[in-house]
Every structure is written in C-alpha cells, then in structure tokens.
Structure 1
Amino acid sequence: MSIALFFFAGKWAQKQINRFTGGAAQMAENVKALSELDQKYPFTPPENGEVNETRLRAYIAVCAQVKPVMEPYAGWLKEHEAAKGKEKGGWQDIKKAVTLSTEITAAMRKALEAEQMGPAEFRWIQNAMKKAASEGGAAGGQVSPNRALYEKYAGQLKANDLQQFGALPEVK
C-alpha cells in the first residue's frame, strides 16, 4: 500500500515540477521575444528629447493591454516587494511568481508587437513621461513639449499606470 502511495506522490511531484519548468521555459521564451522586439523595432531617442504624440498613444495602448493582466496580482506584488531582503515565501510563492512573470511578459510582448514598439522605446517614453509629470510650469507659463503632452494625456496615463503595481517586468 505504501509503495502505491509513494508512486502517486512521486507522480504528483513530477507533474508539479513539469508545470513549474514549463512555465519557466515559457517565461524565458517571452523574455527572449521581448529582446527580439528591440531588434525588430529599433529605437533611438530623438535628439530634442521630445516624445512623439502618436508614439505616446501607442505607449498608453500597451499599458492598457498589460494592466488587466497585472491587476489580479496587485496585492501579491506589493506584499512581496515590501518583503525584499527578508526570508519569505516558499514553493507556492515561486510558482506564483513564475506564473505572474510568464503572464505579464506574454501580455507585454503581445501589446508591444501590436503597437510595433520595442522595450527600449517603451522604457524611454515611460521615463520621459515620469520626468514630465514631475516638472512644473516654467517662468512665464511656458511648459516643455513633454509636459504639455503629459498634461494632455494625464488621465489616460494615470488610468493605465503600470508602476502602481510595484514590480514591473524588466523589458530589456
């Protein structure tokens, strides 16, 4: 009887390991595909540092597609980000992290491809809008072109802000 139990426990464990390694393999494939998008859609920041409005709308569309995938994990992400450096979690946390990373990188990959954007351009726009959000109006009421774009799209940028979830997938 105990041999049968041992056999079934071993089968169950093997199934869990296969599920985990399959998820890790899919995540690795998605990360590779993300880096390939930078080759497919090369990006060099403009010399004037100004975000193109059409590309900002594409950035917002990417965020809008990825946000619903991240929302179910919002609390879990914040909890584990806060626990950084502390011993916390176990096998279940590892499985959830792999699942989360796989789903988010797949969504990011699909959304970037749909908008013909690579991760480098996405990061650049994200950083430019973050900087523009922190700018105030210049003397005489003049604002930078990026600040003006930020003000025009502030509602959409805030509604689709992925950084509110804490950890973001690294899109290199």
Structure 2
Amino acid sequence: MNKKWVIGGVLGVVGLVVVGLLGLVALGVWADRDMGGSGVDALMDSQALTQRFAELNTRYPFTPPPAGQGLKLDEARLEPYLAVREATLPAYDVLAKESVDFVQKHSAALDRRDSRTLLKAAGASLRMMGKAQAVLATNLDAQRMSPLEFQAITAVLYPPPPPAAPPTGAAEQAAVSLPSSPENLALLEQQLAAITPQLEDPKLTESERLQLEQRRAGLRKYITTLEQASGKDVKQANAPLLEKHRERIAKVANRTFDDLLVNPRPPGTARRPKR
C-alpha cells in the first residue's frame, strides 16, 4: 500500500472535510454521531486552530519579499525554522500512522463510498489534522515564528516541483510572458558573449565599434534586471547557507508534510488520489 496515497486518501477522501462539516451542520445530531460522536467538538477545535494561526501571524509579523522576488535567508531565522520542523515531524508521523490505520480498517466501506463511513472519515480527518496542527502552532509560538514566515522559508528550502512543459505551440508565448526564465536568460547570455569577438575585429569602424559597445552595455543591464526579477541574486546569496545546513535540511524534507500542514489546499478541493 502506498503510504503517501493513504495519508492523502484519508484526509482527502471525504471530499472532504468540507462535506463532513456541511453534513454536520445540515444533519445535526445524526451526522455528529456518525463522525464518531465528536463532530461538533472537532469543528470547534478546527475553528480555534484557525484563530490561533491568525493570532501567531499578528504576534510575530512577517513581511514577505515583493511579488516576484525571492526570500533572502537569514541564519538567525533558519535555525528556529528547522527547530519547528524537527519538533513537528513526530506529530506528522502520528498523523500518518493513524491515517494508514483508518484506511486499512475501513477500506471496503470507503471504496463503496458508504455515507456513514465518509462522515466518520471526515471526523477522523479533523481530529488527526487538528492534533498535528496544534503541535505545529505550539512549536511556532515557542520559536516566535509566524505561519506566514514558516511558509515563506519552506518555499525556499523545499520549492514545489516545476510546472509541466507548455503544450506544443505555446513555447514562444511562454518565453514572452516569462522574460526572466532560465531559457531566455541563457539566450541573452549567448548574444552578449557573441559581441566580444566582434569587437576584436580590427576592421571595425569607430561607428560600428561604438554601436557594438552600446549594445553590449544595454544587454548587460537588461540581463542584470532580469536576473534580479528572477531572484537569481537571492538564490546565489542563499546558496552558502543552504549548503552549510544541507544535511539538516535534507533530514526533515517531507513533501506530504508540506502539502498537509504547511500549505494545505482549501477544504473541498481535495480529491481521492487514483490507485
């Protein structure tokens, strides 16, 4: 059994938490009973956690970099970030184990989409996620870090997979819409490099030499601007710090942890993964 599928399955299978919550509100005591007898409590706990995360953002304000610019890492903030992650992973491991146990116990009913089992899964997912999120909130508070800052650093250390290649015929449009893409920058660098041998031609007139030098200066300035827009300078500045803490960063890498606890999708967008 694919562990990652199971974790995502039990937390996404109900369509999920939102279906359970809407059912709880609409069906009252019946839904609460089928969610394990604690649906109302789980809903209230979830709302309290949402408020707690909002308060942490207020208590420990964080200003993200301007849109389109990367976050420059600070070792004084990277250390508490890694401490939060290390302290929260055991709670995630509990969440993972409980998810596996739940799916194994109720797999047949989940496959046939039994309504009572789906509501029970909604209640279970709220409880399991709530416990892990509460640990995350406690650890963030202990390190005086906001959820927003934690998300921002996560995006630098564990960036999402690159998007799929554009469909045939869209490459030119992508190059125009993303001038700071690595491919476009590489092309500009090639154009810049080609100017140097031209300037070494002794047959150049003063006018031609001046035009080439102006073109070279313009290309250099444009490339620098695009590199700044792409965050290349920030990535280069971050590189030594990432290398220094490489082993520790790798040890706490976990894509599913990020998807579920750091950057969860809005309720109702989850779908049960295909086998």
Q: What is the TM-score with the length of structure 2 in the denominator? A: 0.45
Residue 171 to residue 29, structure 1, CA distance change in 2 (3 Å): farther
Q: Which segments of 5 or more consecutive residues in structure 1 lack a partner in the other structure?
A: 1-9, 81-85, 135-141
Letter in 2 for 1:26: D
Contact 2:57–2:146, Cα closer than 8 Å, also in 1: yes
Partners of 2:128 and 2:42 lie apart in 1 by 10
Q: Which has the larger radius of gyration?
A: 2
Q: Out of 78, 81, 92, which is 1:70 matched to?
A: 92
Which residue number corresponds to residue 43 of structure 2? 24
Supply the distance in 2 between the matched residues of 1:125 and 1:53 (Cα, whole angstroms): 11
1:41·1:118 contact (CA, 8 Å) conserved in 2? yes
User: What is the CA–CA distance in structure 1 between the aligned matches of 2:263 and 2:35, rounded to whole Å?
Assistant: 30
Aligned equivalents of 1:171 and 1:35: distance in 2?
15
Please give the alpha-carbon distance, in whole angstroms, between the structure 1 residues aligned to 2:36 and 2:241: 48
Counterpart Cα distance in 1 of 2:252 and 2:112: 32
Match of 1:53 in 2: 75
What residue in structure 2 maps to residue 146 of structure 1? 238
**Equivalent residue for 2:191?**
none
Instruction: Give yes or no for the alignment of 1:103 onto 2:122.
Output: no
5+ residue gaps, structure 2? 1-29, 104-110, 163-232, 265-275
Deviates more, 1:21-30 or 1:108-117: 21-30
Evaluate the alpha carbon distance shift between residue 166 and residue 42 of structure 1 in structure 2; reply closer, same or farther with a 3 A threshold.
closer
Q: What secondary structure, in the 3-state scheme, does the structure 1 residue paired with 2:46 have? A: helix
Mapped contact 1:34–1:171 kept (Cα < 8 A): no
Query: Is the CA contact (8 Å cut-off) linking 1:71 and 1:165 kept in structure 2?
Result: no
- Give the whole-Å Cα distance in 2 for the aligned partners of 1:127 and 1:15: 35
Deviation (angstroms), 1:54? 1.4
Total equivalences in the alignment? 146
**Equivalent residue in structure 1 for 2:251, among 118, 139, 159:** 159
Q: 1:43 aligns with which of 53, 62, 72?
A: 62
